[in-house]
Structure 1
Amino acid sequence: MRAGIAPIMILIAAMLWGTVGTAKTFAPPGVDSISIGAMRLLIGGLVLLIVAGLMGKMTLKGWPVKLILLAGLSMALFQPFFFTAVSLTGVAVGTVTAIGSAPVFSGMIEWIVFKTRPAGVWWVSTLLAVVGCIILMFNTGAVTVDPMGILSALGAGVSFASFTILNSQLVRTHHPVASAAMIFSTSALMLLPFVFMYDNSWLLEPDGMLVALHIGVLATGLAYYLFAGGLKYVKSSTAVTLSLAEPLTASLLGVLLVGEILDIWSWVGLIMLLMGIALLVLQSRKKQVRAGI
């Protein structure tokens, strides 16, 4: 049953991630990217540790230390890259570029490092999704395409692709929730020194606390619980492409809630992005039906 709904779990997780950039715009002015990223990991990691503990899946023995450290570093790097991109280029373009580039990096890493050539449907769906992302990047509305913002978004894309591949290795031998808890706890420890280096007074304001709780509990704890569970049954390259539902969600929220403007070509990009995601979901469901799952 879990295998059959795995792609849907990843899609829901991606939609929750898509709310992060919009949530940041409601935080008090002047919140820096590292500070909000560190709080996201601290809260999300704590939620995942509690859930894994309640499920009886948390153990401190038998973990591959190198894999945990690399996955933790990837997620730690993703935070400042992503939030900087959103700050410089806007919710829609920042999220689209970050997550839209991840499938390319994921496929390249799998091909070069693991010698695993992505399936044909991955190439088609990723092509549709990436072209959609490129069209979105060239939106001529109110969002500014900042070169440093784009570079930060690409850094986030590499980090997310690396995290997904490393996490997919962990969930083969460890429970998905426990794996996510270990990775996020490690990431939080890596960014913990920065919490004391930056001004965190924004957390004392009602808006700041609500944003931190939303990003930490829903967009991180719950989202990565679903993502890790789905990743056990879905290839990492496919999971990353399914995760393109994140920029789709972010773009729509940017328009509806933040007031960002998307022209006709940007809507074309969104439709192509949705087509790429739908293709992967349908293909995955067909495989499950043929396998009798």
Structure 2
Amino acid sequence: MKFAGIGLVMLAAICWGISGGIADVLMNKGWDPIVISLYRGVVGFICFLVWFLLRFRQNRGHSTRLYIWSLVAGVGVAGNFTFYFLSIEASSVAVAATLMYTAPVFVLLISFLLRIEHSTWFKWGCITGVLFGIILLTGAYNTESISVSFLGMAAGLAAGLSYALFIFGFKNASSIGNPHTTLTIAFFSFCLILFFFTDKDEAASVLASSDIGWFLLLGILGAGLSFILYVTGIRWTTPANASMVAMVEPVTASLFGVLVIGDHLTTIQTFGMVVILVTITVLSVKQSD
């Protein structure tokens, strides 16, 4: 079952990586990142609602704390999807996906501030390693010819911070209710939040456009199927293994961007991406242990 769990987590990560590439394709067609994010969440919500209804008898009693933490998770995933797509629009799929995976560093810094964890040389070394990788990836070491815009970098880091918020909310909500209940509530709140920020006319025009298939594929791969695979697979493997296997996402996103979309990464950017991913993997495994 351990290898089955690793396989499911890997499939989920591949789906997430491909979803970034699909979003880039849609943005190149002129669609707004917020509209793309909304449809990814709406399709995901429909998938989770079906999953919730199929397992209705297994649902535990609901409580106010479950709704609060699920709402926190919904805010996190709304920010994550939106900032991720904004970062792709302003930079590239590879850069955006890598910056998003700085989430464990944000979790660590917040834990320091809240005194949940004690700071150690190892943890600060990991934070320093990630910062060094970000500088190489974005070209911030040369302000005259920076390779990634400030908006692309800021949105990518904001996606990572939002991802950390989702993890925090989902973990607390899942300790109270079942994952399918938590995801259904979280993505319902996600849809409500983004609805207020979305161009309603553009969102409605998607239904009659020739790109509706891309939007459906994005929602199924990037939210519905991938999250179900992930929460199922993580039950059969350790958090350390899941953390390492999840790094398939930025690698998949990078390959999709380079091979399909035609993105280009310099040798220094590639090295910076490797530094970030290796450091985050080591940190995640150590924290799990």
TM range (shorter): 0.7 to 0.9
Does structure 1 conserve the Cα–Cα contact (< 8 Å) formed by 2:59 and 2:177?
no
| Equivalences for residues 198-213 of structure 1 within 5 A | 198-200=201-203, 201-206=205-210, 208-213=211-216
Distance in structure 1 (CA, Å) of the matches to 2:195 and 2:64: 22
Q: Which of these residues, 146, 158, 164, is aligned with residue 149 of structure 2?
A: 146
Are 1:166 and 2:165 matched, yes or no? Answer: no
Q: Is the 8 A contact 1:95 1:247 kept in 2?
A: yes
| More deviation, 237-246/257-266 | 237-246
Q: Decide whether the 8 Å contact of 1:248 with 1:274 is kept in 2.
A: no
User: Which AA in structure 2 matches 1:174?
Assistant: G
The CA deviation at 1:85 is: 1.0
Count the aligned residue pairs: 281
Task: Tell me how far apart the structure 2 counterparts of residues 259 and 82 of structure 1 sit (CA, whole Å).
Answer: 19
Q: Which whole-Å CA distance do the structure 2 matches of 1:108 and 1:239 have between them?
A: 22
Aligned twin of 1:182: 185
1:46 maps to which residue? 46
- Matched letter for residue 183 of structure 1: A
Task: Return the alpha-carbon distance in structure 1 between the equivalents of residues 127 and 225 of structure 2.
Answer: 26
Contact 1:35-1:198 within 8 A present in 2 as well? no
Cα distance, 1:109–1:92 mapped onto 2, change above 3 Å:
same
CA contact (8 A) 1:86 1:149 kept: yes
In 2, the alpha carbon distance for the partners of 1:127 and 1:117 equals 17
Distance 1:240 1:5 in 2: 15
Query: Per-residue deviation at 1:171?
Result: 1.6
Is the CA contact 2:40–2:219 (under 8 Å) kept in the aligned structure 1?
A: yes
> Relative to structure 2, which stretch is displaced further, 22-31 or 117-126?
117-126
How does 1:32-111 map onto structure 2 within 5 Å?
32-56=32-56, 57-58=58-59, 61-62=62-63, 64=65, 65-97=67-99, 99-111=100-112
* Superposition RMSD in Å: 3.7
Residue pair 1:40, 1:215 contacting (<8 A) in 2 also: yes
Q: 1:11 to 1:59 in 2, by over 3 A?
A: same
CA shift digits 1:8-46 (9 cap, x unpaired)? 544432332112221023226221111111111111011
Confirm or deny: 8 A CA contact 1:38 1:191 kept in the other structure. Answer: yes
Q: Is 1:21 the counterpart of 2:20 in the alignment? A: yes
| Alignment CA distance shift 1:262-1:37 (3 Å) | same
Taking a change above 3 Å as real, the CA distance of residues 112 and 12 of structure 1, as seen in their structure-2 partners, is: farther
Aligned to 1:226: 229
Provide the secondary structure at the position in 1 that maps to 2:181. helix
- Assess, with a 3 A threshold, how the Cα gap between structure 1 residues 223 and 116 changes in structure 2: closer, same or farther: farther
**Equivalent in the alignment of 1:252:** 255
Q: CA–CA distance in 2 between the matches of 1:32 and 1:215?
A: 14
Q: Percent identity over the alignment? A: 25
Q: In the alignment, is the contact (CA less than 8 A) between 2:98 and 2:273 conserved in 1?
A: no
Rounded Cα–Cα distance in structure 1 between residues aligned with 2:285 and 2:82: 34
- TM-score normalised per structure 1: 0.78
What is the CA-CA distance between 1:66 and the residue it aligns to? 2.0
- Give yes or no for contact 2:52–2:184 (8 Å, CA) kept in 1: yes
Q: Which residue number in structure 2 is paired with residue 116 of structure 1?
A: 117
Separation in 2, partners of 1:122, 1:257: 37
Q: Secondary structure at the match of 1:204?
A: coil
The answer to whether the 8 A contact 1:111-1:117 is kept is yes
Contact 1:102 1:157 in 2 (8 A): yes
Say which SS state the counterpart of residue 13 (structure 1) adopts.
Answer: helix
Change (3 A) 1:198 1:138: farther
Indicate the SS of the match to 2:260.
helix
Q: How far off its partner does 1:239 sit?
A: 6.4
Matches within 5 A, 1:275-290: 275-276=278-279
Amino acid at match of 2:91: T
Q: Work out the CA distance in 1 between the residues paired with 2:242 and 2:39.
A: 25
